[in-house]
Structure 1
Amino acid sequence: MPTTSPFGRSLCAMVTPFTTDGALDLDGAQRLADHLVTEGRCDGLVLSGTTGESPTTSDSEKEALVRAVTEAVGGRVPVVAGVGSFDTRHTVELARSVQEAGADGLLVVTPYYSKPPQDDVEAHFRIVADAVELPVMLYDIPGRTGTRIEVETMLRLAAHPRIVAVKDCAYDLLGSSRVIAETELAYYSGCEELNLPLYAVGGAGFVSTVANVAGPLLAAMLDAHDAGEAAEATRHHQRVLPLVRLMMADGLPGTVTAKALLGALGLPGGPVRAPLRPADRARTDALLKAHREAFGAPL
């Protein structure tokens, strides 16, 4: 069972800010990253993941984003860069690129579309981990990739010295609990509603989209759990659930809702890139109302 959180506890799956004309906004990325660390209580940032719109950003944009964010917050918190793709060779190239750019760790998603068998999934992760010197967080999200990292595969991969963590979006608490119990892998919840349940069974923390706008509430939940105050942790969990539902389970992707709310709060985010489309005014107003209620609700 893991005894440390290699990238911190409260990690934000940071959006990738764009300018109004859709270009990469590096100044906005630096300002947002600094805000998430200084005001948002995030002790780690994950770039170019699902929330970071990695399918629609180029390799050069991903590298530039790492350089900008590490310049803004490097040394204060770890910066983990998403490099996964459906192509092992491409993933290795991007991993080496962001390592050179200053990333502290890598987020590597299961190869998607091809639906490789488990032996090939395992080989993919080993090849990437062998090609770099950075610690690796596996990204298990079968709902998007079409392929699970099966428990037995995860147990074997845990023996690799640079594979140290998992972003868990598999919705399999039993399987995740087994890997937590039998390995040193640090498990981070990637599903907002499981942030507290996974932590309670030995998880390391979370990689959260909602942390873009509600990091202090999520961090307070972990603080309460660490202090042995289970009821208080549950109250924090319940307090943020209406916002979680609107952001993550009400028909729009978390990237869209996070950017809409960031904009309403006066924080950098900008537009989303097609094929995603922005939230409308009514949805943005509802998100802002839920955010205000979450931060103003009594405990």
Structure 2
Amino acid sequence: MKKNSKDWRNTVMPAVFTWLKESESGALEIDLDTTKKYAANILKAQGKGGTRMGGLVGSGTLGENSYLSSEQRLSLLKALSSVAQEYKVPLISGAAAKTKEELYKIVTELATVGVDTVMVMPPKTKEAPCDNEMYAYFALAAAAAKEAGITIMPYNNPDAAGYHALSTALLTKLAALPEVTALKISTIDVSVIETMMLDNKNLKVLAGVDTVTVHAGLAGACGGITGVGCVFPKASITMQEYVNNGEWAEANKISQAMNSISYLDAQPLLLEYLKFAFGVHHNDADGGLRTLGKKLTQQQIDDVRTRYIKAKERLEILDLID
């Protein structure tokens, strides 16, 4: 196991944006230097209790993953690996494939550029495979990870997969694989977390939606992966600190303060919304609009700006703006 990837209890990790710039031809290309700078800034942030982010998630949904070529992803992750190494945290990246053989190749490639743990999405198929086929898919990813000396994180995201969520029985079985660092659960229904924790209190589960951080903690999640934390890292880390300490009222104050912007993390256009909010936060509205994703309407832009301002004002009162 590499770095801190063996135990991520009581931590929150940012799913960082991939910053883009215009090339001489006018096309958008990855701005590696700016991406690294902002990732480092987020990892420098501390909560009120003095803790920091416990990992770095690159080339995920918020990192334009679905729009990048394989070559671009590997180049991006190699650059982010240097940042993760500097701050001594594991580098995590996502992987999605149609077949387990294709997934095996992706996991192997990601290991060559410094990725410590691969978030493995369910197969990109129109119909959900049966549990036996699904298990074989993740098990082969685990085998690839073992050979490469890294770990995997099964990623239960029914919205992204396009079909029903993985069953709790399957998730529990996957969690028993030695190469599985944690399970990532991206759903607003946290009852699945509690159901699994009741069966095995030693499971490591990370919440994947910002709106449920506190409720997921109550259900037994050991941490989370955050998008909003890229915009407000001090607030995100401090909220997790309160969750870790069982100070639910204090954690809930922060959750309520961020509700207006956390809502965006659970929307289909979360990449476009949160990236624009990040740009506004850094006085770079144009930069926030540079995305390979969908172009926002003026109404959407105004809504995101309003939600960002409301969250910022509330967090300022709590002294949680960096």
Do the structures match in fold with TM over 0.5? Answer: yes
Q: Aligned match of 1:186 in 204, 207, 213?
A: 204
* Number of residue pairs aligned between Structure 1 and Structure 2: 293
Dislocated runs of 4+, deviation >3 Å: 267-270, 278-281
Q: Which residue of 2 aligns with 1:196?
A: 214
Q: Aligned match of 2:98 in 72, 82, 86?
A: 86
Q: Which residues in structure 2 correspond to 1:101-120 (within 5 Å)?
A: 101-114=113-126, 115-120=128-133
Q: Which residue of 1 aligns with 2:154?
A: 138
Are 1:98 and 2:146 an aligned pair?
no
Deviations 1:155-196 (A, max 9, x none): 211221001211101444332212223344311111222111
Paired with 2:65 and 2:248, the residues of 1 have a C-alpha distance of 36
Paired with 1:71 and 1:7, the residues of 2 have a C-alpha distance of 23
Deviations 1:219-257 (A, max 9, x none): 111212333422111111111112212x235x6611111
TM normalised by structure 2 equals 0.83
**RMSD across aligned C-alpha pairs, in angstroms?**
2.3
Task: Describe the shift of the 1:116–1:193 C-alpha distance in structure 2 as closer, same or farther (beyond 3 A).
Answer: same
Point out the more displaced range, 279-288 or 200-209: 279-288
8 Å CA contact retained: 2:260, 2:307 = no
User: 1:258 Cα shift?
Assistant: 1.5
SS of aligned partner of 2:160: helix
Q: Which residue of 2 aligns with 1:19?
A: 21
Q: Aligned match of 1:149 in 157, 162, 166?
A: 166
Paired with 1:49 and 1:174, the residues of 2 have a C-alpha distance of 25
Deviations 1:239-286 (A, max 9, x none): 1112212x235x661111121122222367661114x22463523532
Structure with the bigger RCO (C-alpha within 8 Å, sep 6+) is 1
8 Å CA contact retained: 1:7, 1:44 = no
User: 1:81 Cα shift?
Assistant: 1.2
User: Structure 1: any 5+ residue segments left out of the alignment?
Assistant: none
SS of aligned partner of 1:19: strand
Q: Which residue of 2 aligns with 1:28?
A: 34
8 Å CA contact retained: 2:18, 2:64 = yes
8 Å CA contact retained: 2:60, 2:94 = yes
Q: Which residues in structure 2 correspond to 1:223-238 (within 5 Å)?
A: 223-238=241-256
Paired with 2:101 and 2:125, the residues of 1 have a C-alpha distance of 16
User: Structure 2: any 5+ residue segments left out of the alignment?
Assistant: 1-5, 47-51
User: 1:75 Cα shift?
Assistant: 4.8
Paired with 2:249 and 2:315, the residues of 1 have a C-alpha distance of 18
Paired with 1:79 and 1:71, the residues of 2 have a C-alpha distance of 9
Q: Which residue of 2 aligns with 1:176?
A: 193
Task: Describe the shift of the 1:272–1:87 C-alpha distance in structure 2 as closer, same or farther (beyond 3 A).
Answer: farther
Q: Structure 1: which amino acid aligns with 2:114? A: G
Task: Describe the shift of the 1:282–1:252 C-alpha distance in structure 2 as closer, same or farther (beyond 3 A).
Answer: farther
SS of aligned partner of 2:184: strand
User: 1:50 Cα shift?
Assistant: 1.8
Task: Describe the shift of the 1:7–1:277 C-alpha distance in structure 2 as closer, same or farther (beyond 3 A).
Answer: farther
